[in-house]
Amino acid sequence: MEDMFEDEEDDYTPEKPEREHRPRGQRTDQQLTVKEPAELMAFLIASLPHKNRNNIKSLLSNQQIKIDGRISSQFNQPLRPGQIVTVSAARAPRTAQFRGLTILYEDQHLIIINKQAGILSMGTEKQRDHTAYSILSSYVKTENPKNRIFIVHRLDRETSGVMMFARSERVQRLMQESWNETIRQRTYVALVEGVPSPEQGKIESYLHESKALIVYSSQNPDTGQLAITNYKVVRAANGYALLELELETGRKNQIRVHMQDIKHPIAGDSKYGAESDPIGRLGLHAEVLAFEHPITKAPMRFDAPIPKGFLAVLK
């Protein structure tokens, strides 16, 4: 995984999410009590016989389902006896949309986001505000000023896609200490210069970072940490290729360095050998993150669609 960080206090002005006010109406919310263990979709189908599966999917996607007061859109969310499932009469206000990121999922343990390119994962000495960390920290404090969030892993500023935060130090520690066992899938897509040959393969090397913060690749195991990247070409045109990448390890700048190793650097990545910038940003996106929930042990999967700019280059 990318470098992991301990949480730190940010000194920033809280940022307000973009909200929409819920219109007032005469309809009332429906509260359902969970009697026995079940997954959310199965529970809703059984509890709402007047609605079909597509109706219920719409309720989930429109954030009209809450579990113990928290919005849930995960159809396979496990339920425990005694929990209260609320079916809202109207769509939820858009509290999960911010400038720079979208919250894909949250519960009392985790927050999963889709980070846009250009947003830092966490603050640096030069920039401490409008980072994913500061935005989410402000967000959770609106519920309770004592709430905090904790970095589990990070994405580079110019990399977009799925990213995870913990809502307690305990969950942060559980995720970081069991990362390799817990993560089921971590898929990236990259827009690279040229078309790799062969079109599918595995890249293995040892990575180390210089004092100038540049990561170097070597075949000498004494010079760094083992990094393994599997790649597959899924589309190619106009001198570029779209690759699907599965990580067996998660070192800092791993994909960027490995693409340089095979002489097909990521578009826009001048730091690691790119000569072109067709989309005005780094052509790297974290598309899928699947893992076992650290507390409930439920299987979780989150997808962030491939940015349209990547696909436009290949038309």
- Taking each helix axis from N to C end, the angle separating 53-61 and 40-47, rounded to the nearest 10 degrees, works out to 120
Q: Which residues pair with 128 in a beta bridge?
A: none
CA 35 to chain centre: 33
Q: Name the catalytic one among 7, 107, 156, 269.
A: 156
156 is catalytic: yes
Q: How many CB atoms lie within 10 A of CB 162?
A: 24
CA distance 164 to 153: 7
Contact (CB, 8 A) for 178 and 294: yes
What is the rounded distance in angstroms from the CA atom of residue 15 to the CA atom of residue 23? 24
CA angle 178/9/69 to nearest 5° reads 70
Q: Tell me the residue type at 312.
A: A
Tokens 């700019």 correspond to 309
Neighbouring C-alpha atoms within 13 Å toward the C-beta of 119? 24
Active-site residue set: 156
